[in-house]
Structure 1
Amino acid sequence: MIVALLNQKGGVGKTTLALHLAGQWARQGQRITLIDADPQGSSLDWSQLRSREGLPRLFGVVGLARDTLHRETPELARDADHIVIDGPPRVAGLMRSALLAADLVLIPVQPSPFDGWASAEILALIREARIYRPEMLVRFVLNRCGTRTVLARETARTLADHDPPVLTRTIGQRIAFAAAAQSGRLVFEHDDAGPATREIAEVTAEIDGLEVGRSSR
């Protein structure tokens, strides 16, 4: 499965979520390659920090921030159970290429009306990509979310009837993500029993349960 995390709005936690999905699958014994398709190279920076800290390699990270991504990804996918694409910001050519490569597109959003408005452009690109990839699955994922706040509940309720729909499981606003990232770690290495670790595992399990490649929704 090739999973692309895309949103043209910055600051929604796209890279953090991409790294943790890759890490959770790797933790379960699967072969994972993460493609850093963001010219800023945040995932590559994380991987290099991890190496400097002397931590074991969990999965490969490859820089591929170019609009030939969809043609180069199948070769990488031959040696992996999952490919995770940490998508680009507002670069239309790169975004289109990532969409053409993906079996599943995850759109991380925070519980804010501004994030909803910012998603309009990526949704237009998704409609365009589905002409060529009608089987591509798309889901919103609520990230950096205070689950007990009114705004979070309202956002989840709004997206519940949306097309594309939202994942049931959410990721909270957790200090653990920043604390782990400072040393090139993931949250399960920082606090294996913490809520951030549990939420990542729940989101990953929900993704595993999707009929990727067998639905055109």
Structure 2
Amino acid sequence: MIVAFLNQKGGVGKTTLALHLAGQWAARGKRVTLIDADPQGSALDWSERRSHEGLPRAFGVVGLARDTLHREAPELARDADHVVIDGPPRVAGLMRSALLAADLVLIPVQPSPFDGWASAEMLSLLNEARIYRPELAARFILNRCGARTVIARETAETLAEHDPPVLAATIGQRVVFADAPQSGRLVSEIDGDSPAAREIATLTAEIDRLSLRKAAP
């Protein structure tokens, strides 16, 4: 399965979510490759930091920020159980290639009306990709949210009325998500029983269920 975290808007947490989904799958014994398709190379930086800290490799990270991604990602998928794509902000050609490569597109948004407006361009590209890939699945994911805040609830309710729908799992605004990359770690390695680690586990389980439904005849 190839999962791509995509949004034209930067700073919504694509890299953090991509790293943690890949890490959760790898911890379960899956063969995982993460494709860093962001020219900024944040996932590659995380992998290098991990190596410098003397930590074991959690999963493979490959830099592939070019618009041939839709041809190269399936080749990488042959040797992996899952491929996770950390997508670029505002690079239309590369974004289109990532959309054509993916089986499932996850669109991170933060609890803000501005994120909803900014996603319009992303949805336009998604609809364009579905002309060629009508089976392409997509979901919004609410990230960096306070679950009990009014704006988080209103954002979730607004997204519930849209296609694609929003995942039930949400990821909170937690300091550990910002701290972990500085040491090349994942939140589950810092505290496997923390709220952050449990949120990632819940998110992964929901994605697994989507994968099973998609694979069903």
The TM-score normalised by the length of structure 1 is 0.97
Q: Per-residue displacement from partner, 1:108-136 (whole Å, max 9, x unpaired)? A: 00000000011000100000000111111
CA distance in 2, matches of 1:76, 1:37: 14
Q: Residues 135 and 214 of structure 1 are in contact (CA less than 8 Å); yes or no, is this contact kept in structure 2? A: no
Q: Secondary structure at the match of 1:168?
A: strand
Superposition deviation, residue 191 in structure 1: 1.0
Q: Tell me, in whole angstroms, the C-alpha distance in 2 between the residues paired with 1:205 and 1:161.
A: 23
- 2:189 corresponds to 1:196: no
Q: Give the whole-Å Cα distance in 1 for the aligned partners of 2:159 and 2:125.
A: 19
Determine the structure 2 residue equivalent to 1:151.
Answer: 151
Q: What is the distance in 2 between the residues matched to 1:53 and 1:112?
A: 36
- Identity of matched residues, %: 80
Query: Could you say which structure has the higher strand fraction?
Result: 2
The CA RMSD over aligned residues, in Å, is 1.0
1:141 is matched with 141
Q: Name the residue aligned to 1:209.
A: 209
Q: Distance in 2 between matches of 1:212 and 1:117?
A: 29
What is the SS of the residue equivalent to 2:141? strand
CA distance in structure 1 between the partners assigned to 2:26 and 2:204 by the alignment: 11
Q: Secondary structure, in 3 states, of the residue corresponding to 1:212?
A: helix
Q: In the aligned structure 1, how far is the partner of 2:209 from the partner of 2:133?
A: 21
> Which residue does the alignment assign to 2:107?
107
SS of the aligned residue for 2:107 comes to: strand
Structure 1: distance between partners of 2:214 and 2:14: 20
Partner SS, residue 133 of structure 2: coil
CA deviation after TM superposition for structure 1 residue 182, in Å: 1.3
Q: How many residues align?
A: 215
Between stretches 173-182 and 118-127, larger displacement belongs to 173-182
Aligned partner of residue 182 in structure 1, secondary structure? helix
Alignment of 1:56-95 (within 5 A): 56-95=56-95
What is the Cα deviation at residue 78 of structure 1? Answer: 0.6
**CA shift in 2, pair 1:103/1:214, >3 Å:** farther
Q: Which runs of 5+ in 1 are unaligned?
A: none
Change (3 A) 1:214 1:161: farther
Structure 1 residue 214: deviation in Å?
A: 5.8
